[in-house]
């Protein structure tokens, strides 16, 4: 079971050059990296547009991430770069409040890379990966409060129908009802406390052929619960609306999505703005990773990049 996913702790930023090229930045641009993660996009921007001599305007980066731990891991990469970057622990759905607090009126470029970083999967200790036995949290917050929903709450308290609905709706899992039924039955015997507890329940709930499939049988359920815990689709819709308002005319919004639900939201939003005459699509079809990138980073296979330019 555990051999189905290769262990590779080094985070590789997907579609890196395509994103930076597509933003069409200058040395005086203001950019929001709305999902800082491993810091790959911000780092490349700093390298391409190094700061000027003291007193001259240079590129400004506002790096957001709701997982505070990501900054601890990545800040050192920027120590020797002459780069004006602010690290802010916040969800991109609150981009308007962040920009206002920074005293900035308009933004030239915004990046959303919606995938989890390898660091979050491997080192968070919060149960994002079914490959490690960790507490069932799945929250992006490093220190969740008692009021915050966690995966522990979801699997141990939500009704069977609600569980089935989110596993099917957010995970597009064909055996959602069987898995939900299995979760409810298992928790009657004992609380489901860890990732391995949940993996065992899923394994016992799905058919034998499914356990041996190309995609790990727990992938879609874990994805669905994580999306529900963090309200990721709600945050995306809100973040897109607010980000577009923050863009100045000619500014661009680049979004990388990794599954169909996210991509559908992005596509519909972009089409709506184009139809209303407020924006134009930089790429009519999503940009996909090259054969070479997929070879070096299999995670990039499902990535889709869409870029939108505000025209009024």
Output the pLDDT for position 9: 44
The residues facing 280 across adjacent strands are: 309
Strands lying side by side in the sheet with 60-65: 84-89, 60-65, 30-33, 107-113, 247-257, 304-310, 279-281
Q: Are strands 247-257 and 107-113 parallel, antiparallel or unpaired?
A: parallel
**Residues 270, 233: Cα–Cα separation, whole Å:** 16
Output the pLDDT for position 57: 58
Output the pLDDT for position 80: 81
* DSSP helix/strand/coil, 205: helix
The CATH architecture to which 125-230 belongs is Orthogonal Bundle (1.10)
pLDDT tens sequence for the chain (312 residues): 333 333 344 567 999 999 999 999 999 999 999 999 889 999 999 999 986 545 455 899 999 998 888 888 778 888 888 889 999 999 999 999 999 999 999 999 999 999 776 666 666 788 999 999 999 999 988 777 888 999 999 999 999 999 999 999 999 999 999 999 999 999 999 999 999 999 999 999 999 999 999 999 999 999 999 999 999 999 999 999 999 999 999 999 999 999 999 999 999 999 999 999 999 999 999 999 999 999 999 889 999 999 999 998
Cβ neighbours for 270, distance < 8 A, ≥ 6 positions apart: 279, 281, 306, 308
Q: Retrieve residue 156's tokens.
A: 């141990």
Map out the domains of the chain as residue ranges.
Answer: 10-119+232-310, 125-230
**Residues 99, 101: Cα–Cα separation, whole Å:** 5
| Of 164, 160, 251, 153, residue with least CA distance to 193 | 153
Output the pLDDT for position 216: 96
**Residues 281, 308: Cα–Cα separation, whole Å:** 5
What homologous superfamily is domain 10-119+232-310 in, according to CATH? Answer: Vaccinia Virus protein VP39 (3.40.50.150)
Output the pLDDT for position 3: 32
């Amino acid at each position: 079971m555990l051999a189905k996913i290769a262990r590779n702790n080094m985070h590789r930023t997907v579609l890196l050059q395509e994103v930076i090229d597509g933003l069409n930045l200058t040395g005086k641009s203001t950019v929001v990296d709305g999902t800082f993660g491993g810091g790959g996009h911000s780092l490349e921007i700093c390298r391409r547009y190094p700061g000027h001599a003291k007193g001259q305007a240079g590129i400004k980066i506002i790096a957001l991430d709701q997982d505070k731990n990501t900054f601890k891991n990545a800040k050192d990469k920027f120590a020797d770069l002459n780069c004006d970057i602010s690290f802010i622990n916040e969800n991109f759905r609150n981009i308007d409040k962040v920009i206002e607090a920074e005293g900035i009126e308009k933004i030239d470029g915004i990046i959303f890379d919606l995938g989890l970083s390898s660091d979050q999967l491997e080192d968070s200790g919060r149960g994002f990966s079914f490959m490690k036995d960790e507490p069932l949290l799945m929250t992006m917050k490093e220190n969740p409060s008692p009021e915050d929903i966690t995966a522990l709450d979801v699997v141990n308290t939500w009704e069977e129908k609600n569980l089935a609905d989110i596993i099917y709706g957010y995970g597009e899992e064909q055996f959602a009802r069987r898995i939900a039924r299995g979760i409810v039955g298992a928790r009657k015997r004992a609380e489901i406390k860890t990732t391995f507890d949940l993996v065992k329940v899923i394994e016992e709930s799905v058919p034998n052929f499914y356990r041996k499939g190309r995609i790990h049988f727990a992938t879609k359920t874990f994805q669905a619960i994580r999306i529900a815990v963090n309200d990721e689709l709600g945050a995306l819709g809100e973040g897109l609306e607010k980000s577009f308002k923050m863009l100045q005319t000619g500014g661009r919004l680049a979004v990388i999505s990794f599954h169909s639900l996210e991509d559908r939201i992005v596509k519909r939003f972009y089409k709506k703005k184009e139809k209303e005459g407020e924006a134009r699509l930089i790429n009519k079809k999503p940009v996909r990773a090259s054969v070479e990138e997929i070879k070096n980073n299999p995670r990039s296979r499902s990535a889709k990049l869409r870029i939108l330019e505000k025209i009024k």
